[in-house]
Structure 1
Amino acid sequence: MQSLPSHEGAPPNQPLLHIFLLGHMRVLSSTGLSLLPTGTKTKALLAILALSNRRPVARTRLAELLWSTRAPEQARASLRQEIHRLMEVLHPLGPEVLDVQRHTLAIRSGLTEIDMEYVLHTTPQTVMTLPDPLPPLLEDLSAVDPGFAVWLEQERNRLLDYKTAQLEALLASAPPPAIIMAAAQRLLRLNPLNEEAWRTRILTALHNGEEGTALQSAESCLRTFQDTLATTPGQETMRLIADLRAAHHHARQGAPFTTLADQPPPPSSASAGMYEASSSLTLSATAFLACTPTAGAGDGMALAMQFRNELGLDMAMHGVLDVSVQNEQFAAGPSQSLPARRQWDFLIGITVTGSTATSLTCIVQALDTRLNDTIVWGHRLTITATNLRALANRFASVLIISLFTTEARRLANRPIAALSPLGLGLRAFSLSLQNNPAHSQTIDQLLDEASRRAPENQFLFFVRAHTMLLRMSEEWRTPVAEYLRPMVTMLQQNLAVFPNNMATRYLLVVGLFYTRQPEEARFLLAQMHAALPSDSHTSMLALQDGLSALCRGDATLAARIYADFFGLDADVPLVNAPDQEFILACFLANQHEDALRHARGILASSPDRSAILVPALASANALGHQSLALDYRQRLHRLQTPLSVQGIEGHYAHLPQSMRHKLCHALHLREH
């Protein structure tokens, strides 16, 4: 190998290595010498490390990404060879730029420069300094491995999302019109269906007195949506275009053209109302029943009508949606049958596909009326008189969360300054589901502003309590009981004002258990069971039943309750499903293989869930899986989770002492 010039005389903070990942991958020393590896896998290995934010990457993770189709032993052996090749290529810089440990690899800070880091550190004030368009990320690394291909797609999406977010934040800061137009144009190059960018172009052109440009932008927007999706833009954009056309028509008739042109340039807070599709503080939905020609009649149809009514009632009792029920039975889908369907945001269609004297089969769908009745959620059900109430209870929660997440996605491209209190709450709710501590401050700011503008809104109240409960599962430095006590007080006050609010009751029961008030929790839980007398193991109450069993010390019963609940393939319940309690119950019931199997499924998509990693580590230790246990322990260390007796006692204080002792013993924790 060619020897490199000495760098001993270089300034202490000058990078020794420059890694370029945009476009074709390049690796240069400080003297300009190419150190790009020749092997595809070696390049990919360096690329993964360079895009890991200087954090250590587990060797197991590297092996999964680069040799996903090989057995673990073969993959680890191949990884060792590639690490050796990479160190050879970077010799003699290797030890200074790579941190090679027994179980992890990382790129050291300070002596390397990576072009992607500059991009990911841009702000709304500097994003316009980036090249437009940016070269594709790792353009020449394609046929590496299926696992690497999935990872690379995720990284490219991360880059796209980051640049989009900075451009949208730039628009929200109300810069000069020339910058607004340039930023909007960049947004449209990133995503031609970004409605916020189209509206910005139209309104800015009007503000500049360029009526022709505004009309051209409106026609281009309509044509883009028609060519791409065979539909029109959303309601807000269409209303703006309609207003523009009407103003243009009046101007041609001799009236002054002032309807839109006199508005200030978007999207400052002063013009936020122009961006909001609706000033409503809630979403609206209606439930209806439809039948296929072969669906049958009789008792089965009576079940269908009862299920429609119970589903609508349960959704309404959550207190976070405006819900109605269509008493008429329709013979076709909503596009053909339901009159005035545009007056609701969502339609909940129950289509009966077959029925007998004792059961019916149906398809439950949620349709967005603002997207030409696009189906945004659906599920097939078999309903009997026994399970009807429990299924209505469960799917009411499923549908509510599905509608919230759908609406949050619809508003995802909108600047914060243009959001109504409902939009702010939806943005906060969407961020809270990501379980990322880095979003905590943003979520709090969103909710504070929304609550200031709509202090009595029940949806915002739900989002705040829901967020606190989610954060609790990842909170280790403050005892859980102490952390949740303000939430419990807030829920109790709300329940006194809204005693029939089902969402408040769900959250309060959970909060009472965690704050070591089991008698009060079981009293409320018994009241809810009295209103839901049959087949409750499939309803949302199963979650509270499982937690109650854990707090009582019956881990076997808790594990069985959770297994039954999660066995029904309807996800996204009202309160983020306590999968961490399921894993914990499996461990405490000595079902260690089950605990690890369920934990792997969750950690595959959410690798930094400390609440999952702790019981998973305990199960791995109990089974003697040393390499897996080491991986979990290193992840917890990276997350700065305090694995100590004090930390476990504070986090699991709601469990009996014998359970906490068993967990500490499996985690190899000892009293000091």
Structure 2
Amino acid sequence: MHMGTGVMLDTLRPGLPKTDAVLLRLQLIGRMQATTLNNESVLPLGRKTRGLLAILALSGRRPVLRSKLAELLWSRRSEEQARASLRQEIHRLLEALSPIGTDIITVERHTLALKPALTSVDAERIRNANANQAESLPPIDGILLDELTGTDPALDQWLDQERTRLREHAIGLFETMLRRQRDTRGMLAAARQLLLLDGLHEGAWRAQIQGLLAQGETGLAFQSAQRCASAFAARNAVEPGPETRLLLSELLRGNGAANSYPAADSHPSVAGASSLDGAASAPMSVPTSSGDQPDGPASHGASLDASSQQPARFGEGFNRLRRTTVQGLPFVAVLPLLDLNDSAAFSTIAQGLADDLVSGLVQYGGVKLLQGSELQESLAEGRDDAVLRRNFGLDYILDGTLQRTGGRIRVILRLTDIRQYGQIVWAQRFDLPEGDVLTLQDMITTRVLAQLPWEIMLVESRRLHHRPAAELDSHGLVMRAVSYILRIDRIQNDHACALLRQSIELDGNHPLAHMIMSLACLVRFMQRWDDPAVMASRVDAETSAVLERDSTINGGLTMSGLIRSEVHDEPEAALILLERALAAHPSAAAGWAAMAFAQVRLGRLDEAEQNFHHYKTLFPTHPMEVMLDQPSIMIPLLQGRFEDAARIGAVLVEMRPGFAPNLVPYLATLGHLGRVAEAERIRTRLQTMLPADGIASLVHGAGLRVTEHRQRLEDGLRLAGISLSLSVPGEPAGPLGVARRAG
């Protein structure tokens, strides 16, 4: 559910006197935060530790049984193991909160509880608010504990219930607030909150549009009607009810007479027309534009019962905009950068960067691009995002600035979602020494193209995450599946695969659907969730489908190279594919990481380290970094730099404790260092996740060609309590129990 990041008790805002009784402020909506009176962060590092704190915070300050906590956070472990893990996390939580200087948590033999007098929780204000207090709540536009999703299946289920409870309560508050409002300002405030919680709330859309008309803001009302039509269009087959469609149609057909709406406080039916409970509302007076009469006998200002109109009567304006947005792929315009120095030389760079970005995004294949004379003509009259949205159906605009100062060039790029009031969803700044123009363009373009397609995909994934699958088109199903895959959880991956199968059934020629399906299958293979031979065949089939449908798509050859290396243990063949892929798409950050994977197998560690560094330079926080960062621990381990490997491994394992391929090199590292306790913890986790043959398959899958490297990995694992004899790659049995491919 979407909830705002700024919700906090009024008495707990910055600047509190030190005498205030509340010592810990918890923000669970949006990005999780835990701060003291001095604004010092005491947020624990681990996801399980944060989950423990969140459960206590959302339990109404009532004691929570240890057995319940263990069940929510370690549902896939035995009761004894879960209780042992809970004791360890309690210790970590108390240690993280120790800077507060007093006990915030009451720890009993069987229960834990937050002390109510000493702590405040943002979600509580919403839960405890009544309709009279709703107006004082800040905008609610974040997701409750989104970063904890995927920590454990039981916790996911519990979080879904908590989000639903909080969302339903909040919607009820603001629906009541909207019913009671008779002034325009209050109506608009309630409508805004409702639309943050439910983007298809028809009563809220009508109240917002009518409130803006009552204020004389015809242009803003028109934009609001466009956003409403776009919101419903994104659901493909879903359309608003007759009354909403009638209102939208009148505005989208022509808004010349829109100013004839009466003021809200003199027309109670404006608020009353918001049928918040879905009941039919009273007929309303609908003005039409002179010169663009509707297809019926009604004249300007006539009283119309929306339910009695023929479809053609209220469909034209709505469907005209709907057709521009229902195609699935996000629509992007790349604008020339603004030269703040206003120099001819830099104007050339600004246009050149825009052209390079357009060329790169065309090859990505996951967006539609607006370019050509129509865009230039529209911009010649001055930029107006509402006009761009109305005329072209745009979703995103990529623009930025270019400035020279002190012998350096600063470029700032930003991606704006014009469907969401011009919200900036991605931004990047580049500070580079002044030099060759083409070199600068190439450097910036490569980094932007490495990140931007993924960032757009993540924004679209978050936007569609809570929508029912039945309401999504083929591309929407793919976008929704992405968020599930990134959690590296078997149940979530099952959900992703189901969505992707539906997407392919709707449009079997959508290359991105096959690309993301191949990624989902690769994760399953690396985790040994299914038979490796079956998953190897599935990965091959999906990757072949990508290349058959569009051999130019960015990522198809990269995925093929990674599969050759990690699934079929053919690093030499993988490098040939990857070199070809990177020659065509040097911005493919995952391609450089895949090169490092193959070179680690071949023992070319220095080259692997260079390519891995290039990958991290292009995209430091790649969404798949938990999987792609494995060479960062393998390289120092095989070089004998165990302290470096342990430091990196600890971070990777903390980020995704359930990703088995990272546990193996980390466990070997701990064995070499003699860290018995930590090695036992990681070994137990690995053995809980995988059966013995699964661990053996995973270890053998390393495919190390250099004898010294195989021995180093084997020795480390043996010292950590796992004895396996690593086979030499190429032996008949195969390194992964998968038959090697001929050729």
Q: Give the TM-score of the pair, scaled to structure 2.
A: 0.60
The partner residue of 1:488 within 537, 540, 543 is 540
Q: CA deviation at 1:280?
A: 0.7
SS of aligned partner of 1:371: coil
Measured in 2, the distance between the counterparts of 1:349 and 1:439 equals: 35
The partner residue of 1:425 within 452, 475, 478 is 478
Amino acid at match of 1:243: R
Question: Is 1:458–2:460 an aligned residue pair?
Answer: no
Is this contact kept in 1: 2:667–2:717, CA < 8 A? Answer: yes
Amino acid at match of 2:593: L
Partner of residue 328, structure 2: 281
Partner of residue 639, structure 2: 589
Partner of residue 401, structure 2: 351
SS of aligned partner of 1:347: strand
Partner of residue 356, structure 2: 310
Measured in 2, the distance between the counterparts of 1:426 and 1:616 equals: 32
Measured in 2, the distance between the counterparts of 1:435 and 1:612 equals: 12
The partner residue of 2:578 within 521, 525, 535 is 525
Partner of residue 363, structure 1: 412
The partner residue of 2:492 within 432, 435, 439 is 439
* 544-553 or 430-439, larger mean C-alpha shift: 544-553
Partner of residue 622, structure 2: 572
Q: Deviations over 1:410-443 (max 9, x none)?
A: 2233222222222211111111111111112211
Question: Is 1:291–2:338 an aligned residue pair?
Answer: yes
The partner residue of 2:108 within 83, 86, 92 is 86
Partner of residue 117, structure 1: none
* 573-582 or 343-352, larger mean C-alpha shift: 573-582
- Closer/same/farther in 2, CA of residues 508 and 431 from structure 1, 3 Å limit: same
The partner residue of 2:60 within 18, 23, 37 is 23
Partner of residue 619, structure 1: 669
Measured in 2, the distance between the counterparts of 1:195 and 1:355 equals: 41
The partner residue of 1:516 within 552, 559, 569 is 569
Is this contact kept in 2: 1:583–1:616, CA < 8 A? Answer: yes
- Closer/same/farther in 2, CA of residues 317 and 438 from structure 1, 3 Å limit: same
SS of aligned partner of 1:289: coil
Q: CA deviation at 1:354?
A: 2.3
Is this contact kept in 2: 1:583–1:598, CA < 8 A? Answer: yes
Is this contact kept in 1: 2:339–2:347, CA < 8 A? Answer: no
The partner residue of 1:61 within 85, 89, 97 is 89
Measured in 2, the distance between the counterparts of 1:218 and 1:329 equals: 31
Is this contact kept in 2: 1:185–1:197, CA < 8 A? Answer: no
Q: Percent identity?
A: 17
Amino acid at match of 1:364: L
SS of aligned partner of 1:362: strand
Is this contact kept in 2: 1:505–1:524, CA < 8 A? Answer: yes
Name the Cα RMSD after superposition: 5.1
Measured in 2, the distance between the counterparts of 1:521 and 1:318 equals: 21
SS of aligned partner of 1:378: strand
Q: CA deviation at 1:562?
A: 1.6
Question: Is 1:381–2:437 an aligned residue pair?
Answer: no
* 624-633 or 337-346, larger mean C-alpha shift: 337-346
Measured in 2, the distance between the counterparts of 1:222 and 1:22 equals: 44
Question: Is 1:395–2:448 an aligned residue pair?
Answer: yes
Amino acid at match of 2:634: L
Amino acid at match of 1:504: G
Measured in 2, the distance between the counterparts of 1:253 and 1:630 equals: 78
SS of aligned partner of 1:317: helix
1 or 2 for the larger relative contact order (CA 8 Å, sep ≥6)? 1
Q: CA deviation at 1:187?
A: 10
Is this contact kept in 2: 1:408–1:426, CA < 8 A? Answer: yes
Amino acid at match of 1:452: E
Partner of residue 162, structure 1: 161
SS of aligned partner of 1:361: strand
Measured in 2, the distance between the counterparts of 1:435 and 1:418 equals: 25
Q: CA deviation at 1:200?
A: 5.3
The partner residue of 2:465 within 396, 412, 421 is 412
Partner of residue 307, structure 2: 258
Q: Deviations over 1:243-275 (max 9, x none)?
A: 242575278625552378999xxxxxxxxxx99
Is this contact kept in 2: 1:290–1:333, CA < 8 A? Answer: no
Question: Is 1:501–2:500 an aligned residue pair?
Answer: no
The partner residue of 2:526 within 473, 486, 489 is 473
Is this contact kept in 1: 2:603–2:705, CA < 8 A? Answer: yes
Q: CA deviation at 1:159?
A: 5.0
Amino acid at match of 1:380: R
- Closer/same/farther in 2, CA of residues 192 and 329 from structure 1, 3 Å limit: closer
Amino acid at match of 1:471: R
- Closer/same/farther in 2, CA of residues 489 and 197 from structure 1, 3 Å limit: closer
Q: Deviations over 1:222-256 (max 9, x none)?
A: 99xx9xxx995944477758624257527862555
Q: How many residues align structurally?
A: 537
Q: CA deviation at 1:399?
A: 0.5
The partner residue of 2:657 within 604, 607, 613 is 607
Measured in 2, the distance between the counterparts of 1:222 and 1:396 equals: 42
Amino acid at match of 2:399: G
Q: CA deviation at 1:609?
A: 2.3
Measured in 1, the distance between the counterparts of 2:644 and 2:652 equals: 13
Q: Gaps (5+ residues) in structure 1? A: 1-18, 28-42, 91-97, 99-105, 107-132, 137-149, 169-180, 203-212, 264-273
Is this contact kept in 1: 2:630–2:661, CA < 8 A? Answer: yes
Q: CA deviation at 1:194?
A: 5.0
Is this contact kept in 1: 2:634–2:645, CA < 8 A? Answer: yes
SS of aligned partner of 2:430: strand
- Closer/same/farther in 2, CA of residues 297 and 571 from structure 1, 3 Å limit: farther
Amino acid at match of 1:458: P
Amino acid at match of 1:633: R
* 603-612 or 423-432, larger mean C-alpha shift: 603-612
Measured in 2, the distance between the counterparts of 1:20 and 1:490 equals: 44
Measured in 2, the distance between the counterparts of 1:221 and 1:412 equals: 30
* 288-297 or 427-436, larger mean C-alpha shift: 288-297
Q: CA deviation at 1:304?
A: 3.7
The partner residue of 2:597 within 547, 554, 564 is 547
Q: CA deviation at 1:591?
A: 2.7
Is this contact kept in 2: 1:295–1:355, CA < 8 A? Answer: no
Amino acid at match of 1:258: S
* 617-626 or 154-163, larger mean C-alpha shift: 154-163
Is this contact kept in 2: 1:513–1:654, CA < 8 A? Answer: no
Q: CA deviation at 1:544?
A: 2.9
Report matched runs for 1:67-82 at 5 Å: 67-68=95-96
Measured in 2, the distance between the counterparts of 1:509 and 1:388 equals: 28
Q: Deviations over 1:603-631 (max 9, x none)?
A: 33433222222222221222222232223
Measured in 1, the distance between the counterparts of 2:395 and 2:146 equals: 36
Measured in 2, the distance between the counterparts of 1:222 and 1:667 equals: 70
Q: CA deviation at 1:216?
A: 5.8
Measured in 2, the distance between the counterparts of 1:424 and 1:333 equals: 37
Is this contact kept in 1: 2:337–2:401, CA < 8 A? Answer: yes
Question: Is 1:320–2:377 an aligned residue pair?
Answer: no
- Closer/same/farther in 2, CA of residues 648 and 461 from structure 1, 3 Å limit: closer
